[in-house]
Chain A
Amino acid sequence: MSLAKGRARFFAGKALRYGITLVIILSINFAIPRAMPGDPMINLLGEDAVRVDRQMLDELRAQYGLDRPIQDQYIEYMLGAGRLDFGYSIHKNLKVTELIYDRFFWTLVLIFPSIAIGGLLALVLGAIAGFRQGSKVDRLLTGVSIFMYSCPSFLFAMVIVTIFSFHLGWFPLGNISSGRTQGFAYLLDIGYHLFLPVAILSAFEAAYIFLIVRNSITQIMGEYFIFVAKAKGLSARVIELRHVMRNVLPQFISIMALNFGFMVSGALIIEIVFSLNGMGTLIYDSVMSRDYPVLQGAFVFLTIFVLAANFLADVLYGITDPRIGDSMNTGKMI
């Protein structure tokens, strides 16, 4: 089989898998409020539905089609999901989609820099530890990252806020901006407010990925082609950068992608501690008021986001690892 054809088949297979995953996720979201104990009307509309007047309730019941057979409801729901329509939040008196659009942006602003910084940090520190395995630096870094792994993110964030904001007063206590500035000063203000949350989230990302990078370097260092490279008399620097790091890359990308869901979860928690106006605080408020439509919409949005990121990573993986699509070698992916 030619390489290009194999590669096209690889991407098509991936696309199919993500499509199926998306349908399954939407179906789970459809099934949960209808299968859970309690009145599905309340489950779909939130606890506040009890307090709404009759007429609106009847209108909404008709809109959700709860009086119609389940397969009709399912088709209706899937069409609505296609238009990114997730219903109406009675509690906030807004359409769920509008509510989410507003908040989602700030969550992205928090997540993307953290992933970039955390990933780079993990790559550099992982290389330092991996090439000097068993040294003091290695043991220190591994110890720190295991400690981070076992520390709940909210606790870590709370301690950092207490030290740096309460006592030292170096950083603001929360919120996205102080709200009086414009233009460039506004951006600087946001950067100042987001410094601590981004730093904490990056640290968690770095701690997690560090261990993987370090282990995969150790593993690659034991392979025959490294032995051959050493025998050829290549310098340690060339072997490390050209041969080892190049082979760490595909695994690095795939673990970054798998970690995306973890990062989203982390961002939600950190937002709550810093009271940033993102998806985390939205979910927190919705949990408190049992505002189910918002919870469902948030779940679907975040999941689609994670799926998209993973799909992108799979495409990147296919580009960085030329063995993909080469049917002779696909069985031996690192």
Chain B
Amino acid sequence: MELSLPGKLIKRLSDTGIKSLDQNPLRSLGIIILTVLVLAAVFAPYLAPHDPKQTGIPHQSPSSEHLLGTNDLGQDVFSELIYGTRVSLTIGFLSGIISIVIGVTVGIFAGYFRGWAEELLMGTTDVFLLIPSLPLMIILAAYLNPSMWNIIVVVGLLGWCSTARLVHSRVLQVREMQFIESTRALGYSDIYIIIRHVLVNTKDIIYAKFSLAVASAMLSEASLSFLGLGDPLNISWGEMIHFAFSRGGFANDLWWWYLPPGLMICVTLLAFIMLTMEGRKDSKILELI
């Protein structure tokens, strides 16, 4: 029976697990936190009480005028934090998308076609898994101009290996299923089978892995920015901590300068991890980490 458009939409929504949210408090909490953060990022100019670039009296403690005090240039830390949400989330999402697209493509092709394609693709993945990613990211980011887009590309291009391995092992199971064999016997092309059947049957781990990929991209970005490789024009949370650390905020114990951005990173990462929790059966999904 063909459903009407709104009916289809509701079915779509309940397919993605919206319905089961009331049995899954952790996932609901994750969604709420992320919604708030995305709203804060979108409406940053309306929410921020000050212009984050406007300078004033430095090193002020938190007060009603400056909720989280000011930094060494007298900029309002709270406003900087809100604008930083934009940068950190953008970098996390875009790098996550790059890494998930590469990882899923590599994993599916290696798992579905087997043979030399598998040897080549998974061999490459194993090589990349062995290289410690932070030093390589540091080198690449140090050569490129310090800009947000370069960081997105560097983090995205180096974060796909674990996704590829995960998707590969799932596809190995899926391709042996009976219905795949029947579809193949019916003469459908490989690309059709991959898109309509294999991809659909791996989507649950792809969604979960995407959430974790964004989390780990944000963590990588924070580390790079902490090392001073961030974009000086788009200050992220990690970079706020870098400035607090290198310009004496840490040595002088100005906690309002470095602690809030750090806690924001923690809360955001926790929210992304919570999205992947499946109620009581959480043990399985934790393997994705």
Contacts and interface: CB of A to CB of B under 8 A. Distances in A.
A24 interface: yes
B139 A32 contact: yes
Interface in A275-293: 283-284, 286-288, 290, 292
Given A211-B289, A284-B227, A287-B142, A264 B255 contact: no
Contacts, number: 145
B114 to A, nearest CB: 14
A334 to B, nearest CB: 13
- Select the residue from B126, B259, B262 with max chain A CB neighbours within 10 A: B262
Given A146-B273, A295-B139, A299-B139, A151 B266 contact: yes
B265 A36 contact: no
Contact of B130 (A21, A265, A287, A299): A21
A265 B223 contact: yes
How extensive is the interface on chain A, given as a class?
A: 35 or more
A295 B138 CA distance: 8
Chain B interface main SS type:
helix
Nearest to B136: A299
B241 A264 contact: no
Contacts of B134: 261, 264-265, 268-269
B283 A272 contact: no
A211 B138 contact: no
Nearest to B274: A146
B222 interface: yes
A292 B286 contact: no
Contacts of A214: 283
Interface in B266-281: 266, 269-270, 273
Interface stretch (A56-64, A72-80, A153-161, A241-249): A153-161
B264 to A, nearest CB: 10
A283 B135 contact: yes
12 contacts: A37-B143, A146-B270, A146-B286, A149-B289, A150-B219, A150-B269, A152-B266, A155-B241, A158-B250, A260-B132, A261-B132, A287-B229
Interface of A: 17, 20-21, 24-25, 28, 32-33, 36-38, 43, 133, 142, 146-147, 149-155, 158-159, 162, 166, 208, 211-212, 214-215, 218, 258, 260-262, 264-265, 268-269, 272-273, 283-284, 286-288, 290, 292, 295-296, 298-299, 302-303, 306-307, 310
